[in-house]
């Protein structure tokens, strides 16, 4: 066997390094967003310390964040511009955080709107790094890592503000932003990964059509499912506000645990059924909220179900967005639109939560959301599978056209044990009709290595060329 050349190995090392950098910068910056302007306990704590109300500041910040997510792609067109935006925005957010040491004023509102708009732009612009520095099959892990570490940091910032002092929480928040800036200086200005080969005009048109249809379905689904997050902020959290010691740290623990479990499932593991389990968990959390008391065991039961389900669904739609980035020249557009749907759902849930006066009505509305989610999930999956037929949440062989899920047929043919992991990767690309050069570029290996693997694949499958291989793999095995 001819090993991959050194340049390919160096390229892989650079990709791994840049992937870690993007996760670190995202985690640091996103934790500040969660702890300060976006329903953050640091902001609530400092507002209470000054004798003011943080609610109006939070709402303005969320609206500005939404605007930043939507507007980013208009003026951010490449990774160089994305890096410049991040490096400019972080010091401004640190300065805004410093202003919170002073009593609330109109300056607070203006500063929080500016910072929230910029951080919305930065999160959308991070899509360039999500796409350009993470191989497609690793994006679900990259997103899980970013969400896990940002929520862990958020817990620390919240606990500092609640149990030590709001000023300490602000100080730690500035320190987090300083660290984010230092790591952001090392971000690349061009994509680490090679760009995929150009598609034919007909295939590009089909992808474009499917992309926008799938994105509309996905955004609608995100809005519906995240309405429950708004309910949580306005209904569940206030009901357990007296359990300050427990809620200050346990609130996000089930969310992190769900992300960790989903992250470490085998890639070929079918995750589609877990989405239905998560819907049941949301419904169960509201049933328990209505039927139990307000003691600490009740909080553990309600919060574990609700936040565990949120972790499953957040990773689902974040990772779907990650895979969809390949189908647009500006990743900030896809990222921004998808995350704007999330913020819109939270805002809608909060508005509804404020308007409804009884817990029974809140629960009925929550069940309405659960039912709507159940109705939307099958057509959403059907739309997405046409575009992302290898995504780990969409691998349900019996529900998918056989030519769109060759990996599932490989498993049915019992080829998994006979082929190495690299041979399976090459095999899937071979039956897609990609040339040896395109396969080499995508897998960062030499063309001669592709030919070596192809020879092994033909020998192990009893075929002589890629035409016979495709005929074998794309033929559903007969049921004995």
Class of domain 200-388: mainly alpha
Q: Choose from 140-144, 222-226, 276-280, 398-402 the range with maximum mean pLDDT.
A: 140-144
Q: What is the pLDDT of residue 405?
A: 45
The answer to whether the CB of 22 falls within 8 A of the CB of 183 is no
Question: Model confidence over 261-287: pLDDT tens digits?
Answer: 988 887 666 667 788 888 888 888 888
How far apart CA 62 and CA 38 sit, in angstroms, is 6
Q: Provide CATH code, domain 8-195.
A: 1.20.1250.20
Cα–Cα dist 36/258, whole Å? 24
Shared fold status for 8-195 and 200-388: yes
Domain 401-473 has CATH 3.40.50.300: no
Write out pLDDT tens, residues 296-343.
Answer: 999 999 999 989 998 998 898 888 888 888 878 889 999 999 999 989
Q: For 424-477, write each residue's pLDDT tens digit.
A: 888 878 877 778 888 888 888 888 888 888 888 888 777 777 777 766 665 544
Helix-helix angle 296-324:201-231, to 10 degrees = 160
Q: Where are the domains of the chain?
A: 8-195, 200-388, 401-473
Residues 28-66: pLDDT tens digits?
A: 999 999 999 887 889 888 988 888 777 778 888 889 999
Is 280 in a helix, a strand, or coil? Answer: helix
Count CA atoms closer than 13 A to 418's CA, side-chain side: 14
pLDDT tens for 87-131 read 999 999 999 999 999 988 888 889 999 999 999 999 999 999 998
């Amino acid at each position: 066997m001819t090993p991959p050349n050194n340049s390919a190995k160096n390229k892989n090392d650079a990709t791994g390094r840049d992937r870690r950098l993007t996760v670190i910068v995202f985690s640091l910056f996103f934790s500040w967003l969660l702890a300060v302007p976006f329903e953050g306990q640091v902001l609530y704590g400092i507002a209470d310390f000054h004798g003011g109300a943080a609610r109006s500041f939070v709402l303005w910040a969320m609206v500005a964040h939404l605007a930043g997510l939507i507007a980013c792609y208009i003026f951010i067109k490449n990774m160089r511009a994305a890096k410049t935006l991040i490096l400019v925005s972080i010091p401004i957010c640190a300065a805004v955080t410093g202003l919170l040491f002073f009593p609330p004023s109109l300056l607070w509102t203006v500063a929080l709107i500016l910072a929230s708009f910029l951080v919305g732009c930065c999160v959308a612009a991070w899509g360039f790094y999500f796409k350009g520095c993470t191989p497609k099959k690793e994006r679900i892990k990259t997103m899980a890592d970013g969400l896990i570490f940002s929520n862990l940091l958020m817990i620390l910032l919240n606990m500092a503000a609640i149990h030590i002092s709001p000023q300490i929480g602000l100080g730690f928040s500035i320190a987090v932003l300083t660290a984010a800036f230092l790591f952001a200086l090392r971000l690349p200005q061009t994509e680490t990964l090679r760009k995929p080969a150009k598609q034919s005009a007909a295939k590009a048109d089909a992808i474009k059509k499917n992309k926008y249809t799938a994105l509309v379905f996905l955004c609608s689904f995100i809005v519906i499912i995240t309405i429950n997050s708004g309910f949580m902020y306005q209904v569940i959290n206030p009901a357990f506000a007296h359990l300050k010691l427990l809620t200050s740290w346990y609130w996000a623990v089930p969310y992190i645990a769900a992300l960790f479990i989903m992250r470490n499932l085998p890639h070929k593991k079918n995750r589609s059924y877990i989405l239905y389990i998560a819907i049941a968990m949301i419904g169960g959390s509201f049933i328990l909220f209505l039927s139990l008391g307000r003691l600490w065991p009740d909080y553990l039961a309600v919060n574990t179900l609700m936040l565990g389900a949120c972790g499953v669904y957040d990773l689902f739609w974040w990772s779907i967005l990650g895979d969809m980035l390949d189908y647009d020249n500006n990743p900030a557009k896809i990222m921004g639109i998808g995350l704007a749907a999330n913020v819109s759902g939270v805002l809608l849930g909060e508005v509804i939560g404020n308007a409804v006066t009884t817990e029974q009505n809140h629960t009925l509305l929550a069940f309405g959301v659960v039912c709507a989610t159940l109705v939307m999930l099958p057509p959403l999956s059907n739309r997405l599978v046409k575009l992302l037929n290898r995504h780990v949440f969409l691998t349900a062989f019996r529900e998918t056209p056989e030519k769109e899920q060759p990996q599932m047929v490989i498993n049915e043919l019992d080829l998994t044990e006979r082929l190495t992991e690299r041979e399976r990767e090459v095999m899937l690309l071979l039956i897609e009709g990609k040339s040896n050069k395109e396969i080499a570029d995508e897998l960062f290996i030499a063309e001669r290595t592709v030919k070596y693997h192809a020879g092994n694949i033909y020998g192990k499958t009893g075929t002589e060329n890629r035409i016979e291989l495709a005929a074998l793999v794309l033929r559903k095995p007969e049921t004995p």
